[in-house]
Amino acid sequence: GAPGALPDPSFLWSVFQRVDKDRSGIICDNELQQALSNGTWTPFNPATVRSILGMFDRENKGGVNFNEFTGVWKYITDWQNVFRTYDRDNSGMIDKNELKQALTGFGYRLSDQFYDILIRKFDRQGKGQVAFDDFIQCCVVLQRLTDVFRRYDTDQDGWIQVSYEQYLSMVFSIV
Amino acid sequence: PGPGPGPGPGPGPGSGSGSGSRPRPGPGPVPGPGWGSTPGPGSVSGRGPGAAAGNGNWDRRRNAPPGVDPEAFSWFQTVDTDHSGFISVKELKQALVNNNWSSFNDETCLLMINMFDKTRSGRIDVYGFSALLRFIQQWRSLFQQYDRDQSGSISFTELQQAFSQMGYNLSPQFSQLLLARYAQRSPNPSIQLDRFIHICMQLQSLTDAFREKDTAMVGNVRLGYEDFLTMVVTRML
């Protein structure tokens, strides 16, 4: 179909059923984690799983139903596309340079040292590069932090003046 | 350096309207690492090679390993339902309960695993589990102290008193904000042990970060975009 279009609902339904191992009608953290691959022999980052489910679970039930799952499916599939685009050497991992290109491509303007911090924090494989799951988590966190910073940076000059409690509220709203 | 923060639209598409932030529209789909049905290890139970070797396989007839409380050891064996020698978030959820018998929520279980997992694999071994139990027990005692009316959860007033006793100087509005975010919806919102632990740990970490910047101790700081990002990312639990 057209790029960006959802696939056939019966296809999505068959995926849903495969992932919903206990047939509860809800895909929980554990089930989604088992269905996803980060391209290595390690389990998919549980924090990324939680972030994704948190975005699409409209009822705070700890998982997604079939309707919500269609959003999850598209979200993950779109991330696959992005990852492939920036994993230019096709290594299955995104190195520091590829990460720079990806984030710069999204519009971020960050220092070289900050990229070292990002990789150190998000790379769970310990290879100085980010796998698919860690890449998603990195981008999600960066986006949330940027969103909240923007809300406070009313004159958009890249600086904010905040009190202790404002700072706490900012971060508590996204963790 | 640089004028302002990057617009950072992020490729996150879709319109998740859950409690997390909203991702933005993105490009179309193409295969890659992602779903486990594509070539890749996703459909493997994620235990990885070597799990059966090393300190993974504790014989039930053996005593607890050195430094591990026997009770913690026996609990570990019960919780490690797939006998992998490691406890995952899912198994941990079954081990940890609030005072109202509800399981610990996923976020707190994740936080606990990250704290006690030295290998960043997303699961803990018997040593990590033993340390985790001691940690939770300390928090449970503290929680019970602050739960003045012994209701099993911490109310608005009790939360305020807890913060004050812990040395935090926080406004009632801030406590309200936390209750709105973390409490179960009810006429008398209150906080369970799992969320109480999460809140206190975040509070501690964020306060440390703020103090580092507010050297003049005026309670107010000027932060550049990257400063802010760095403060949060480096101290993220």
Per the CB < 8 A criterion, the answer to whether A43 and B87 are in contact is no
DSSP state of B3: S
Q: Is the pLDDT of residue A154 over 80?
A: yes
**CA neighbor of B66 nearest in space, from B118, B115, B130:** B130
Name the residue type at position A103.
L
Q: What is the pLDDT of residues A88-132, one digit of tens each?
A: 888 999 999 999 999 999 999 999 999 999 999 999 888 999 999
* Tokens matching residue B14: 């879709």
What is the per-residue pLDDT for B106?
85
Residue B118: pLDDT band with limits 50, 70, 90 = confident
A124-128, A149-153, B84-88: which is most confident: A149-153
d(CA B57, CA B43): 23
Contact A83 B229 (CB under 8 A): no
Contact A124 B229 (CB under 8 A): no
What is the per-residue pLDDT for B47?
36
d(CA A141, CA A157): 21
What is the per-residue pLDDT for B184?
77
> Could you tell me if A90 lies within 8 Å of chain B, comparing CB atoms?
no
> Could you tell me if A65 lies within 8 Å of chain B, comparing CB atoms?
no
Residue in the structure block whose two tokens are 């699961």: B123
What is the per-residue pLDDT for A93?
94
> Could you tell me if A33 lies within 8 Å of chain B, comparing CB atoms?
yes
Per the prediction, chain A carries an average pLDDT of: 92
Largest CA distance in chain B: 65
Contact A36 B34 (CB under 8 A): yes
Average pLDDT over residues A39-49: 89
String of DSSP letters for B153-169: SB-HHHHHHHHHHHT--
Q: Is the pLDDT of residue B66 over 50?
A: yes
For A9-173, CATH gives 1.10.238.10
- Complete domains list, chain B, with CATH: 70-234 (1.10.238.10)
> Could you tell me if B234 lies within 8 Å of chain A, comparing CB atoms?
yes
| ipTM confidence | 0.90
Phi, psi of B124 (to 5 degrees): -120, 150
DSSP state of A59: T
Number of residues assigned to chain B: 237
Q: Is the pLDDT of residue A1 over 60?
A: no
Q: What is the pLDDT of residues B153-173, one digit of tens each?
A: 999 999 999 999 999 999 999
- Between CA B52 and CA B63, with CA B58 as vertex, the angle to 5 degrees is 165
d(CA B199, CA B217): 23
